[in-house]
């Protein structure tokens, strides 16, 4: 269902973007550019092969905005919300589908989470837009442009899409706290995940009342945010091509902004081509991890990484079970976490190998672009715009797989599930 729904939505927006009405020059754009842009928008990635500001007309940009709004909330979730809005009760099948799509533990929580999705999205996007619109007006833009840019940036930020309606992106606003802080807040909240937001709303500032997912997500998010800012700032501090020539305050602001955006936001204040190789490697890791489960962020998710780390710690201590906050994590969860990481690594390897083989580009640049596509982050070293159509299709597939989840893809492609009614004798192989 997830594969089919996202596929249909991508096809629809591809057709819309291929209309002459969608292009500034009045000519239909090439199919691979339309497909890539539609996929990037629906999967809330933010990678582009053509300039969003220069290539697309207002209608084209409106289609892109609708695409990443729908993609951020999730096609299945949107369907459920529309059904509730017209007064229809969700059937058991619809509830189970929405529950699976949003990683909700209990079926009874579905209605609350769906309402939280709608209220949270509309509220935060509206607030961010209302903050940004006056700033764009003060910067000299017309009333219509200010309203449009404020709405576009707010929806793009909350959905972790990374699309910008300006030809030079946010680079000219690198010193503007009025613009940058609301975008950071939008990306941060959108990356937490709606089930986590629901728990925090119900029990604000009561850590002991949060469930395990919320605790792991918040601790992991804050840890990566601080660690990412420190490492990014440390390695770029003296780089004159990025932040080396800036003052202390702007350096700290750029480091914080980069740490927030590397985990799925996709906005950037510096040209990633100018960053040091070690900075690109750190960004690769942060993009691969991504944000919270059932969020608008991508990556393998914070809880996935956290569960594996806890398992390693438990094994190093000789503990029999994996425990966190007085809760035992089932072995099945650990197996899923390991499977997600391993399959994601394999997909990233295959995508990287394919593009390197076709283009001969350097490994570090291709790896960065591939991880950004698969983790639906949107940061770029400028490679996407220069790739041949065959490689653009590779990145398109990576964005699609990365958004709907490798486990969903594996399940959807499997002909049938295997249930073994017997168990072979155990034998421990030598490890290490």
Cβ neighbours for 21, distance < 8 A, ≥ 6 positions apart? 57, 59, 60
> CA-CA distance, 371 to 8, in Å (whole number)?
25
Neighbours of 200 (CB within 10 A): 19
Which contiguous run of DSSP H or E holds residue 176?
none
* Average pLDDT rounded to a whole number, residues 403-408: 75
How far are the Cα atoms of 111, 210, 224, 234, 293 from residue 228, in angstroms, in the given order?
35, 25, 6, 10, 20
How far are the Cα atoms of 2, 263, 304, 408, 430 from residue 337, in angstroms, in the given order?
20, 18, 5, 13, 22
How far are the Cα atoms of 15, 261, 360 from residue 29, in angstroms, in the given order?
10, 29, 27
Cβ neighbours for 16, distance < 8 A, ≥ 6 positions apart? 22, 38, 60, 63
Q: Which two tokens stand for residue 127?
A: 């607030």
Band (194; pLDDT cuts 50, 70, 90): confident
Q: What is the pLDDT of residue 381?
A: 94
Identify which of 190, 196, 207 has the alpha carbon closest to the alpha carbon of residue 105.
196
Q: Which two tokens stand for residue 387?
A: 């790739």
Q: Which two tokens stand for residue 379?
A: 């940061």
- For residue 323, what are the β-bridge partners? 328
Residues 324-371: pLDDT tens digits? 999 999 988 888 889 889 999 999 999 999 999 999 999 999 999 999
Secondary structure (3-state) at 248:
helix
Looking at per-residue pLDDT, the higher value among 187 and 413 belongs to 187
**Over 50: is that where the pLDDT of 415 sits?**
no
Q: Which alpha helices (DSSP H) does 43-169 contain, by range? A: 52-55, 58-73, 75-85, 92-102, 110-138, 143-158
> CA-CA distance, 359 to 53, in Å (whole number)?
27
- For residue 389, what are the β-bridge partners? none
Residues 210-256: pLDDT tens digits? 999 999 999 999 999 999 999 999 999 999 999 999 999 999 999 99
> CA-CA distance, 128 to 115, in Å (whole number)?
20
Which contiguous run of DSSP H or E holds residue 224?
helix 212-236
Q: What is the pLDDT of residue 21?
A: 96
């Amino acid at each position: 269902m997830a594969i089919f729904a996202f596929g249909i939505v991508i096809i629809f927006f591809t057709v819309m973007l291929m209309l002459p009405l969608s292009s500034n020059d009045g000519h239909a754009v090439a199919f691979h550019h339309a497909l890539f842009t539609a996929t990037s928008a629906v999967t809330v990635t933010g990678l582009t092969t053509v300039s969003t500001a220069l290539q697309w007309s207002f209608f084209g940009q409106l289609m892109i905005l609708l695409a990443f709004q729908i993609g951020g909330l999730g096609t299945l979730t949107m369907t459920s919300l529309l059904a509730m809005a017209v007064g229809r009760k969700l059937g058991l099948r619809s509830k189970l589908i929405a529950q699976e799509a949003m990683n909700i533990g209990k079926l009874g929580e579905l209605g609350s989470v769906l309402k939280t999705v709608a209220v949270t999205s509309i509220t935060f996007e509206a607030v961010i837009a209302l903050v940004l619109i006056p700033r764009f007006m003060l910067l000299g833009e017309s009333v219509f442009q200010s309203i449009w840019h404020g709405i576009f940036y707010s929806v793009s930020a909350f959905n972790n899409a990374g699309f910008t309606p300006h030809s030079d992106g946010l680079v000219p606003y690198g010193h503007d706290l009025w613009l940058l802080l609301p975008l950071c807040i939008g990306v941060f909240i959108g990356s937490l995940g709606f089930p986590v937001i629901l728990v925090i709303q119900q029990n604000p500032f009561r850590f002991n009342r949060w469930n395990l997912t919320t605790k792991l997500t918040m601790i992991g998010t804050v840890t990566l945010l601080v660690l990412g800012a420190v490492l990014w700032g440390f390695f770029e501090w003296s780089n004159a091509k990025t932040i080396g020539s800036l003052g202390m305050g702007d350096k700290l602001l750029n480091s914080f902004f980069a740490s927030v955006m590397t985990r799925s936001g996709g906005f950037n204040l510096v040209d990633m081509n100018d960053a040091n190789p070690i900075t690109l490697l750190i960004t690769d890791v942060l993009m691969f991890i991504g944000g919270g489960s059932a969020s608008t962020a991508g990556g393998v998710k914070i809880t996935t990484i956290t569960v594996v780390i806890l398992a390693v710690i438990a094994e190093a201590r000789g503990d029999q079970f994996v425990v966190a906050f007085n809760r035992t994590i089932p072995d099945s969860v650990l197996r899923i976490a390991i499977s997600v990481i391993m399959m994601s690594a394999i997909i990233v390897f295959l995508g990287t190998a394919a593009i390197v083989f076709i283009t001969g580009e350097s490994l570090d640049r291709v790896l960065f672009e591939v991880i950004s596509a698969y983790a639906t982050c949107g940061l770029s070293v400028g490679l996407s715009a220069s790739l041949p159509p065959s490689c653009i299709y590779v990145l398109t597939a990576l964005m699609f797989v990365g958004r709907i989840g490798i486990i969903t893809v594996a399940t959807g492609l499997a002909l049938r599930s295997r249930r073994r009614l017997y168990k072979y004798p155990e034998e421990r192989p030598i490890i290490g």
